[in-house]
Structure 1
Amino acid sequence: MKYDLLIKDGKVVFRDEVRNVDIAIKNGKISAIAEKIDDEALNTINAEGQYVMPGMIDTHVHICEPGRTEWEGFVTGTKALAAGGTTSYVDMPLNALPATVDRESLRSKLEAAKGKNYVDFALYGGLVPGNIDNLEELSDEGVVAFKCFMSTCGSDIPDDFTNVDDFTLYAGMKKLAKLGHVLSIHAENAVITDRLAEEAVKQGNLTATDYVASRPVFTEVEAVKRALFLAKETGCKLHFVHISTAEAVDKIIEAQNGGQDVTVESCPHYFTITTAQFEEIGPVAKCSPPLRNEEEQVKLWGKLIEGKIDMLTSDHSPCPPDMKQSDTNNIFEVWGGITGCQNNVDLMFDEAVLKRNVPVTDFVRMIATNPARRFNMPTKGEIAISKDADIILVDASQSYIVKKEDLYYRHKHSPYIGRNINCRVTKTFVRGNLVFDLDHGIVGDPVGELITYNEKVSALV
């Protein structure tokens, strides 16, 4: 057989255009693209009427293994990613225990990941107080980027992740600038948000709206401006995660235009759930930064439509159901994280491409091409000859309602349950391997491989 797989007659989304062509795959790579390919193949897929796109690269995922596998895990988390049209992801240094902040903890995570990933994956290293001297060893071990929190995070549990102080942020940026790495930042002012939360609880203001009010827009904007200033001083490359406000996006774009090496992501929940809807849905929709009011959401949509959002990610941050409950109806007590990676592609394709006429080429840049470029994945992120055959099929003629029983998460809760979505991911291929099929679910054994920044690091896990 000349090819392993042919995908025929689909609407193939390239960098700047959509064309009805055939794609041939051999040894996990895209081998040929033409209007008609009639050579023999082991398998042929008829994609007529469907969009054929590069799989999503979700650069913001919390798998939680090892140490908190009761929250999620590589098997369940990557099944959900595959079913949602994600073909590669980057795992955050939290909420696993130990947090990934040195060589030992990184190797512990890699050992836990062996043979469990249904999609390809890369790892973050963490920047926390006290680990500046560990950043180089993490780089040597192959992490693709580093992550820190400017807002308060962590717990009293040993080896949990903790947020940076300003000096750690500055010193870490200096070190990472020398190493050439991107620092991804959760940007919220810790002092102000913590005190506002304390005051709200003291006054008995415990609702979802009260929680949002404790993390106002300016606390995100201030942290973004502070990080940008320190990055300019140190020459550090930045990536801002899960930005929730248009004003913060504007500050980042100003820095880009001024020559700084900085990018910005946002997440589906900031475009699809408002503060009022958070009140209705309940604690499963709690996250930080918080979900904004309708006016702020409209402004954020404006930035996406203008092309000012570089990437879309899930910030998949799962937890057991009891952590989303409060006996006193105090929203401040419940876990702040959204379980949502299975509905990245379909939800945002519906909302952005179908409902708001965002060009599908722009959509693909946000979910695949830009993440691949930013996080050093040269074989991924677009449909082109010699690239990895990480491909998804999306049927824009199908509608469905998100149901609890269809979710692959360890704990089947999500703010999207009950939501109608006007498209479906029908197939997901990772390097030419079919890992998800709408009619049959997850297919075969885990095929995911490790992606590293350091090519000398072993690639297969």
Structure 2
Amino acid sequence: MSSLVVRARRVVLPDGERAAAVHTADGVVTAVTGYDDVPPGAVTLADDEVLIPGLVDSHVHVNEPGRTEWEGFATATRAAAAGGVTTIVDMPLNSLPPTTTLEALHVKREVAQGQVAVDVAFWGGAVPGNVDQLRPLHEAGVVGFKCFLLDSGVPEFPPLDDAGLRAALTELAALDALLIAHAEDPDVIAAAPDPAGTSYAAFLASRPPAAEETAIGRLVAATRDTGARTHVVHLADADALPLLRAARAEGLRISVETCPHYLTFAAEDVPDGDTAYKCCPPIREVAHREALWSALAAGDVDLVVSDHSPCTPELKRLDVGDFGLAWGGIASLQVALPAVWSGARARGVPLTDVVRWMSAAPARQADLATKGAIAVGRDADLVAFAPDERWTVDRLLHRNPVTPYAGRELTGVVRRTWLRGEETHGSPRGRLLRRGGVAS
């Protein structure tokens, strides 16, 4: 029986941080004991290292098959492991075929098998005309369903109108399955100025905060009418928080995430023509960033995930710097933890909070019961993290290392990552997971 014991003066556990030894066998945590209660051969972390649970990133666009030149399972999961992320959940779009049918899920699993360096679960997609596929996909183990409320940017993943949204939610409510939504309103955006050109201010004006608020209002109403469970992905507009707070006070089952780029950057600092910063919804002004940090502290935002959405350098149109032409998406899977920790540390937010937002909360949201904590019975997914070490972002492992983090100094270095009790070095030993956290 394979076993590993790791001890550290600082271990982030579900009930707080303390010195401890974590005992594992066959990839599962079997005991958490005092620091000195270890057998010979135990791994002892350095004094400047903290042992944390492997992160769970429930918002990753792997893009394989079909757009593997953008990203792929091998490259994405190697980057994840290097960043202390031991489980990712793959988004259903940007791959060809998209994960909107049971057959497409089988295709994606077949392609991923044998390639992944960390554990991988899958979202299904909710698009017009596939209500009959939602139950089969749910029964096959997807963790929930992603939809867009406006054009997704790829024609094979069209958006749901209000009737389609309610039809999907009615079916998902019967399954108690989760719908996650890209919430921007197409009519608000259609009435906004054209984003063409190198001006970041013009791009920001083309996707105003009202687009998020209107779409979230539509989602709240549909959640109320159907009794379903819903979730808002990548919130950038802090002015939408009162809507969500009121919906939850009403008893609606609606949750919300934000992303490292909304917590790190601010519109005032984005250089004109630097399309590496383009994402949708856009990085907003510093007031939104600070309000999102406050909302996390207050529990009004539930989790932080990367929304890793890379593409080829050509699609980013760095050659012309045109925000209207460039693909929208930020690549950040490998740097999500140090990016968020750098911001948290500067604001006096403890590492225990960051771990909750980036490990426990996304594991719970995606119903991955074996992930998200250093606790008996959970997978022995562990990370040695040096929270005080400073470094400059380079040597990125995802396929196309175009990112606004390049060259940025961050604090916090992932030194070692263990997946189910074995140290990872980017080798393909991850598993494909079904909802619940069991291997598929």
- TM over 0.5: same fold? yes
Query: Which residue does 1:95 correspond to in 2?
Result: 94
Residue 325 (str. 1) matches residue 317 (str. 2) = yes
Aligned pairs for 1:257-268 (under 5 A) are 257-268=249-260
Residue 459 (str. 1) matches residue 439 (str. 2) = yes
Work out the CA distance in 2 between the residues paired with 1:390 and 1:230. 37
Change (3 A) 1:183 1:421: same
Q: Tell me the secondary structure at the aligned position of residue 53 of structure 1.
A: strand
Work out the CA distance in 1 between the residues paired with 2:40 and 2:167. 54
Residue 410 (str. 1) matches residue 399 (str. 2) = yes
Aligned pairs for 1:123-202 (under 5 A) are 123-156=122-155, 160-197=156-193, 199-201=194-196
Work out the CA distance in 2 between the residues paired with 1:11 and 1:416. 28
Work out the CA distance in 2 between the residues paired with 1:303 and 1:40. 43
Residues 61 and 314 in structure 1, CA contact (< 8 A), matched pair in contact too = yes
Matched letter for residue 168 of structure 1: G
Residue 433 (str. 1) matches residue 422 (str. 2) = yes
Query: Which residue does 2:276 correspond to in 1?
Result: 284
Change (3 A) 1:71 1:247: same
Change (3 A) 1:234 1:21: same
Matched letter for residue 361 of structure 1: T
TM-score (norm 1): 0.91
Query: Which residue does 2:428 correspond to in 1?
Result: 446
Residue 372 (str. 1) matches residue 363 (str. 2) = yes
Residue 419 (str. 1) matches residue 408 (str. 2) = yes
Deviation at 1:50, TM superposition (A): 1.5
Work out the CA distance in 2 between the residues paired with 1:316 and 1:269. 10
Residue 355 (str. 1) matches residue 346 (str. 2) = yes
Query: Which residue does 1:68 correspond to in 2?
Result: 67
Residues 367 and 436 in structure 2, CA contact (< 8 A), matched pair in contact too = no
Work out the CA distance in 1 between the residues paired with 2:96 and 2:148. 17
Q: Tell me the secondary structure at the aligned position of residue 87 of structure 2.
A: strand
Matched letter for residue 207 of structure 1: S
Work out the CA distance in 2 between the residues paired with 1:39 and 1:155. 53
Deviation at 1:240, TM superposition (A): 0.7
Work out the CA distance in 1 between the residues paired with 2:131 and 2:183. 20
TM-score (norm 2): 0.96
Query: Which residue does 1:9 correspond to in 2?
Result: 8
Work out the CA distance in 2 between the residues paired with 1:386 and 1:454. 13
Work out the CA distance in 2 between the residues paired with 1:14 and 1:125. 31
Deviation at 1:41, TM superposition (A): 5.8
Query: Which residue does 2:334 correspond to in 1?
Result: 342
Aligned pairs for 1:85-124 (under 5 A) are 85-124=84-123
Q: Tell me the secondary structure at the aligned position of residue 270 of structure 2.
A: helix
Change (3 A) 1:281 1:23: farther
Deviation at 1:247, TM superposition (A): 1.9
1:388 to 379, 394, 397: 379
Query: Which residue does 1:48 correspond to in 2?
Result: 47
Work out the CA distance in 1 between the residues paired with 2:388 and 2:223. 45
Aligned pairs for 1:302-321 (under 5 A) are 302-321=294-313
Range with greater deviation from structure 2 (332-341 or 268-277): 268-277
Q: Tell me the secondary structure at the aligned position of residue 23 of structure 2.
A: strand
Q: Tell me the secondary structure at the aligned position of residue 110 of structure 2.
A: helix
Residues 390 and 410 in structure 2, CA contact (< 8 A), matched pair in contact too = yes
Unaligned runs of 5+ in 1: 436-441
Work out the CA distance in 2 between the residues paired with 1:250 and 1:41. 54
Deviation at 1:233, TM superposition (A): 0.3
Deviation at 1:200, TM superposition (A): 4.8
Matched letter for residue 452 of structure 1: R
Change (3 A) 1:235 1:398: same
Change (3 A) 1:327 1:13: closer
Change (3 A) 1:315 1:200: closer
Deviation at 1:345, TM superposition (A): 0.8
Deviation at 1:255, TM superposition (A): 1.2
Q: Tell me the secondary structure at the aligned position of residue 336 of structure 1.
A: coil
Residues 45 and 384 in structure 2, CA contact (< 8 A), matched pair in contact too = no
Q: Tell me the secondary structure at the aligned position of residue 276 of structure 1.
A: helix
Residues 195 and 202 in structure 2, CA contact (< 8 A), matched pair in contact too = yes
Query: Residues 105-128 of structure 1, C-alpha deviation per residue, up to 9 Å, x if partnerless?
Result: 111100100111111111000000
Residues 8 and 47 in structure 1, CA contact (< 8 A), matched pair in contact too = no
Number of residue equivalences: 440
Residue 397 (str. 1) matches residue 380 (str. 2) = no
Residues 71 and 311 in structure 2, CA contact (< 8 A), matched pair in contact too = yes
Query: Which stretches of structure 1, 4 residues or more, deviate above 4 A after TM superposition?
Result: 326-329
Work out the CA distance in 1 between the residues paired with 2:367 and 2:253. 14
Deviation at 1:388, TM superposition (A): 0.8
Work out the CA distance in 2 between the residues paired with 1:409 and 1:273. 21
Query: Residues 132-189 of structure 1, C-alpha deviation per residue, up to 9 Å, x if partnerless?
Result: 1111111121101100011212435xxx212111111110011110111010000000
Change (3 A) 1:168 1:261: same
Identity %: 37
